[in-house]
């Protein structure tokens, strides 16, 4: 195993700067996810780690070795692509063997590696089939198997589940996590799906417009996003934002905003917002699961809010609702037996210990 260190990495195509000073470090055996919208630079970064794109400036190190000018074949990495990239005229076994033959690995070692990896991925029964005879999930297992037989220092995944249907994507996500637990290799995984990133990675780099907005553990990124972009991108449905102002009520700081012609005042709790000042313009962020129907016996610090219920969407395990707060729509998540009805004016409890406040101008967490 080996660590991966990226220092002040820049990439330009002509006058267009695609990556703007990336700093990342994956510890040996760690699973890192690169996540962000299309065009944010995550696939370009992965290609540079693989050696498929040149470095404009900065450094990439695998272990202690600077690899900026090292050819892809000499970096001791293995890459799994979105398109599987299997040779259609070769059997599964031939696809897995091809790379080892190219590197002159003895046949006995090839056989041992193929048997070990096919057992690990449970594809032993597929060895004589060709890719056209396999399902999408089976092809992805073979693509991973072809990477695993190399026993590389570093695994790179480029949106490997994007071509699979929803159920198979969940199943394969679980398989990838199990696989990482078994082999323990340093892994960099690119995805636009923030659920994949949250469930798979030990740390996540959230990227936007060629920069890393936040690099941290999934729980920290979800609960303490550093800015509105991260808060809105991570989470499904995304965080709700209400334009607000800091005020004082009965000597205590509150978040104030207009709701149905009246001023709603919700208490600010905890020490993380100690630097707020009265009159400061903020965006009040609250995740859908931090709403509940107000019962009057809540055992946590809450704010109370009234909202018209516009749409209710049962999904089985939970019920989603779209509500109107002033001139803003918000989304709330409820347990099915504790959900409001369409057309109702619901009294909502807001868990104020879980909210986020962002500066209205800079959009940074305050």
What pLDDT score does 274 carry?
67
The structure tokens 């690119």 sit at: 190
User: What number does CATH give the domain 240-359?
Assistant: 2.40.50.140
Whether the per-residue pLDDT at 299 is higher than 80: the answer is no
Q: Does domain 4-226 bear CATH number 3.40.50.300? A: yes
Q: Across all residues in the chain, what is the average pLDDT?
A: 91
For residue 49, the model assigns a pLDDT of 97
Element (H, E) at 107: helix 107-121
Give yes or no on whether 4-226 and 240-359 have one common fold: no
Q: Is residue 282 predicted with pLDDT exceeding 90?
A: yes
| pTM (2 d.p.) | 0.89
Taking the CA atoms of residue 311, residue 197, residue 217 and residue 317 in that order, the dihedral angle to the nearest 10 degrees is 40
Per-residue pLDDT reduced to its tens digit, 12-31: 999 999 999 999 999 999 99
Q: Assign residue 62 a region: left if phi > 0, alpha if psi is -120 to 50, beta otherwise?
A: beta
250 band by pLDDT with thresholds 50, 70 and 90: confident
Return the domain boundaries, the chain.
4-226, 240-359
Residue 350: C-alpha distances to residues 120, 258, 275 (Å): 47, 16, 22
Return d(Cα 290, Cα 286) in angstroms, integer. Answer: 7
What are the backbone angles phi and psi of residue 187, rounded to the nearest 5°? -135, 135
| Tens of pLDDT, residues 153-206 | 999 999 888 877 888 788 888 888 988 888 889 999 999 898 999 999 999 999
Question: Which tens digits make up the pLDDT trace of 70-128?
Answer: 999 899 998 888 777 888 999 999 999 988 888 888 999 999 989 988 888 888 999 99
- Per DSSP (E only), the strands in the chain are 4-13, 16-26, 31-35, 57-62, 65-66, 77-80, 154-158, 186-191, 203-208, 211-216, 240-249, 252-259, 262-267, 281-286, 291-293, 302-314, 319-325, 328-334, 345-351, 356-359
pLDDT in tens, 137-151: 888 888 888 888 888
4, 205 Cβ separation under 8 angstroms:
no
pLDDT of residue 298: 58
Judged by average pLDDT, the poorest of 56-60, 118-122, 239-243, 247-251 is 118-122
pLDDT band at 257 (very low <50, low <70, confident <90, very high): very high
**pLDDT tens track for 50-62:** 999 999 999 999 9
**Residue 17 near residue 210, CB atoms below 8 Å:** yes
Contact yes or no for 153/186 (Cβ under 8 A):
yes
Residue % of the chain over a pLDDT of 70: 97
* pLDDT value at 300 more than 80: no
What does the pLDDT read at residue 297? 61
pLDDT of residue 183: 85
Instruction: Reply yes or no: is the peptide bond before residue 237 cis, omega within 30 of 0.
Output: yes
Strand, coil or helix: what is 257?
A: strand
């Amino acid at each position: 195993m080996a660590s991966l260190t990226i220092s002040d990495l820049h990439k330009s195509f002509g006058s267009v700067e695609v990556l703007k000073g990336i700093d990342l470090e994956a510890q040996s055996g760690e699973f890192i996810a690169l996540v962000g919208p299309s065009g944010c630079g995550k696939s370009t970064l992965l290609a540079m780690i693989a050696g498929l794109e040149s470095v404009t400036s900065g450094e990439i190190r695998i272990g202690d070795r600077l690899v900026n000018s090292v050819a892809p074949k000499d970096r001791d990495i293995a890459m799994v692509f979105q398109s599987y990239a299997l040779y259609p005229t070769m059997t599964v076994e031939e696809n897995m063997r091809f790379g080892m033959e190219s590197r002159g690995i003895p046949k006995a070692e090839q056989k041992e590696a193929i048997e070990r990896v096919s057992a690990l991925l449970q594809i032993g029964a597929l060895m004589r089939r060709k890719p056209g005879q396999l399902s999408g999930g089976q092809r992805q297992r073979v693509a991973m198997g072809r990477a695993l037989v190399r026993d590389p220092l570093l695994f790179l995944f480029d949106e490997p589940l994007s071509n699979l249907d929803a159920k198979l994507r969940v199943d394969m996500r679980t398989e990838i996590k199990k696989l990482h637990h078994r082999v323990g290799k340093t892994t960099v995984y690119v995805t636009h799906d923030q659920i994949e990133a949250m469930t798979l990675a030990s740390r996540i780099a959230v990227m936007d417009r060629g920069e890393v907005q936040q690099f941290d553990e999934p729980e920290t990124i979800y609960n303490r996003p550093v800015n509105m972009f991260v808060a809105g991108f991570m989470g499904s449905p995304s965080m709700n934002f209400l334009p607000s102002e800091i005020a004082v009520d009965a000597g205590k700081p509150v978040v104030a905003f207009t709701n149905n012609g009246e001023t709603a005042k919700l208490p600010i709790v905890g020490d993380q917002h100690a630097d707020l000042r009265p009159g400061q313009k903020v965006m009040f962020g609250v995740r859908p699961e931090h709403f509940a129907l107000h019962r009057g016996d809540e055992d946590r610090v809450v704010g109370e809010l009234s909202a018209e219920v516009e749409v209710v969407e049962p999904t089985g395990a939970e019920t989603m609702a779209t509500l109107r707060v002033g001139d803003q729509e918000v989304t709330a998540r409820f347990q099915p037996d504790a959900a409001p009805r369409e057309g109702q004016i619901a009294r909502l409890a807001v868990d104020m210990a879980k909210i986020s406040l962002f500066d209205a101008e800079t959009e940074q967490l305050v």
